[in-house]
Structure 1
């Protein structure tokens, strides 16, 4: 069973601690995505799993075996890099078979595996070409195929789609997800793109500054973010945030810094009277309404045909984004009143950043 356990994993470079004690479990067959901004430690953590970086503290276990002292080549892993890392002087067939030749796999078996994987990834017609004759998407398929032929316990992907254009990224995203479904292997995937994380993952680990902010299923993170960072990072466009204070006499009455006042759903949050809080509202949960409690000035409008976006500011210059299904007659310069769905409100303690959901 290719279960992956990280137990208090730490990494330091001299006195600088870059991974600050990560605990998480990826069960056999799960697709886990490490996501976070640049510099959060996600690639370093992946390289520690792979054995390409030493571990300062804690344990990495694959199955029931702690692999801290086991060399990368003996961990039963295969890694796909952002840079493809193909041998330019070799054909596609030779790139795919090279790793198997190194472990002295019989030639008939190599040929059978290479041809089966090439057909699965739809690169069987490219086997005699060299990398310079391939498109970016084809090169990435070859890099993935080179990992697949080794039949590893766990696949590791380090931002494999970053060098592709937007349309091809979407296509390859679907292909990797379909590959996972066919193979059923455990996969760990690093990206800074939260849309990739949401669409591909069984579980998402959100990292920031070497710490694990939240770990769980994509919709759990979207619907129940543990803190302000996760709330702002998961979801596109990002969540709108408004600061304010609960009424000293009525904790369900929120007085916003914008000058607006809004009612909070009763019994949903654990806020105290007079507490400084941050209200989170996703763009999809705001809608123009003449009787709305929130007031904004529209600075820009994006008309996309089937949907539209309003970009503007509240009365205290706090930015706001509103998603509108379909087309809109609202124009830049308009003042609009907005209603927020009470069932979709998020509330956080401004000082700690933690959710106040009950």
Structure 2
């Protein structure tokens, strides 16, 4: 499992005062977003707002101190040309950056390698947050999303992991987020180019796999020696677009995308391929050994068809990278 599934100082006073001073009353005005969509130059007229996870996310001006939760969000912001407007990032321990972003990624300040606390977040003086899920904003370790909005810090959640759509999300969430963030962050031209590239890459995969039978697969992760099924929503859509069929779709509750799984249940399904998530080199090696030991009788292990994928490859633009990479692993002769 990625950790998104485990809902696991004078500087602070100054930051809190600054954020409170920036707070503004909520508004239902939609003219900003409408004007942005109509402008031929592609720029944004402010204020601007979008709907995200059933909430209105509104900005009065282009954010200048963006905080990114999760590596894939940092890379998305870099793809939008916003490297000088990222105030910091968290959860960097979940994956090294993609080579294309590595130089700029490593220049972004790390606020916390894993979970961040209230003091560290507010001390960064964010005016916008892009996060991989709502679970962290519980009002305890971090303020709630509503509390942050009152402080003038809007929070945008990856569309694929909105609570009500986690179990049904598809790769279309990537272009949804590109469109929304391009508008909110005054980066629409770059967002449009990235969205077009996304569509082209996925269309090329679809073309290469036309007429090929799906490979039976199981997507899993091992955390603290517990096996988890990853299925439904974006996970299974990536497998499908990559030319596979996730045999674990019936192993997770409706509306969810993960669940504990017994070794016996997975062995009984006997997938041709085991796809496993990892967060670092040590985790990758340990997970591979665990699968080889506990599932030695499966077709996947017997034929050496274990595919390791970084956990961060399943959100935003990295989900597209993950799809392309997985397709080439499942059907190497098609590319």
Q: So what's the TM-score if we normalise by structure 2?
A: 0.25
Higher RCO (CA 8 Å, separation ≥ 6 residues): 2
Larger radius of gyration: 1
Q: So what's the TM-score if we normalise by structure 1?
A: 0.24
More strand by share: 1
